[in-house]
Amino acid sequence: MCTVCGCSERTPSIERADAQSAQTQGHHHDHAHDHYGHHRDHVHSGQNVHDSHNHHHGHYHHHDHSHQHAQGGGALVDCGADPAGLKIAGMSSERTIRIERDILGKNNRIAADNRARFLTDDLLVFNLVSSPGAGKTSLLVRAVSELKDSRPVGVIEGDQQTSNDADRIRATGAPAIQINTGKGCHLDAAMVGEAYRRLPPLKGGILFIENVGNLVCPAAFDLGEACKIVVFSTADGEDKPLKYPDMFAASSLMLINKIDLAPVVDFDSAKTIEYARRVNPNIEVLTVSARTGEGFAALYAWIRKQAANQRRPVGDALP
């Protein structure tokens, strides 16, 4: 996973608080970002330093191992069978596990601080995850537009580059802060904590965190949220839960978005739900369309239930 491939060694760009007010007032900004560093010393003294500059930042790692090919030309190179869950050339399983524990341990401590702050502020926080293009931002634009007049609502947006998604949220009149992760493929707790400090007060409201479009790495990183919501598009293919099981195992709710396109793309929702529940028998499932609004009443009812579970009075105010 990306905790050991080197992509955590970057400096994300997080908008200043005045960026959102400038956007709300219709002013253009190109440089309203600060830089916030973290995770730089993720290898402890006494260990060989992992050279992230000479290491490929994706999640494919080349190995000069021979593999037997099955009849018919097929072959399975299962790098996930290693005790560490992945194989990295020149690094033992034990060291991979140690580094991952160090980074996730640091992240989890910051996430616990975030969670305590959110609870103090009586805030319900959701971490939205998906593959790119599943419709997270469109879904949030509709939800924020319909919720913002009855309670405080804010959004933290995560993308590698641009503030396009935060601009779309701000166009609804709701506050949003953009985090640009650069080569990073996910948000982490430190980024979210810093971005939250730059939002206006949201006490008693809802905070949506839109993670970077990626069905792998965000699964491992707790941001301090109440739960993860995986957004799944009808155009994604029914077997995504089996191909990317960690994300579906980590999520409390699967939103099947673009349900209005299901007849066009010949989507089998029953099969998708079956696959998701093979991975996570307890995952809840709702079908929605960010374009038409179908299913949003059920989504708001689900949010009310989460609010009630946290015994938060804001639950009574939800539509």
For tokens 């793309």, the residue is 265
- In this structure, the chain runs to a length of 319
CATH assignment, 105-314: 3.40.50.300
The rounded distance, in Å, linking the Cα atoms of 305 and 15 is 32
Report the pLDDT value the prediction gives residue 310, as an integer from 0 to 100. Answer: 85
CB 42 within 8 Å of CB 99: yes
Task: Identify the bridge partners of residue 129 per DSSP, sorted by sequence position.
Answer: 230
Q: What is the spatial distance between Cα 60 and Cα 79, in angstroms, rounded to a whole number?
A: 9
The C-alpha atoms of residue 175 and residue 103 are separated, in whole angstroms, by 30
Kindly give, in sequence order, each residue whose CB lies less than 8 Å from that of residue 91, ignoring residues fewer than 6 positions away.
4, 50
Please write the tens of the pLDDT for every residue from 241-290.
999 999 999 999 999 999 999 999 999 999 999 999 999 999 999 999 99
DSSP 106: H
- Alpha carbon dihedral 141, 125, 220, 268, in 10-degree steps, equals -50
pLDDT value at position 278? 98
Instruction: Please say if the pLDDT value at position 198 is more than 80.
Output: yes
- Tell me what the pLDDT averaged over the chain comes to: 82
What pLDDT is recorded for position 89?
Answer: 62
Query: Could you give the percent of the chain with pLDDT greater than 90?
Result: 63
| 155 pLDDT more than 80 | yes
Smallest CA-to-CA distance from 199 within 9, 19, 73 is with 19
In the β-sheet with 33-35, what is the strand arrangement from edge to edge? 33-35, 13-15, 176-180, 153-159, 206-210, 124-129, 227-233, 253-257, 284-287
The pLDDT value recorded for residue 98 is 73
The residue ranges of every structural domain in the chain are: 105-314
The answer on pLDDT for 17 being more than 60 is yes
Which of 195, 172, 141 has the alpha carbon at shortest distance from 15? 195
Dump pLDDT digits (tens) for 165-197: 999 999 999 999 999 999 999 999 999 999 999
pLDDT digits (tens, 9 = 90+) for 87-115: 556 566 776 667 667 678 999 999 999 99
Higher model confidence: residue 141 or residue 86?
Answer: 141
Q: What sign results for the dihedral spanned by CA atoms 2, 178, 240, 124?
A: positive
The model's pLDDT over 38-66, given as tens digits with 9 standing for 90+, comes to 444 443 333 443 443 443 444 444 444 44
Q: In terms of pLDDT, which residue wins out, 77 or 316?
A: 77
* pLDDT for the residue 13: 85
Q: How much is the pLDDT for 20? A: 58
- Look at residue 1 in the predicted model and tell me its pLDDT: 52
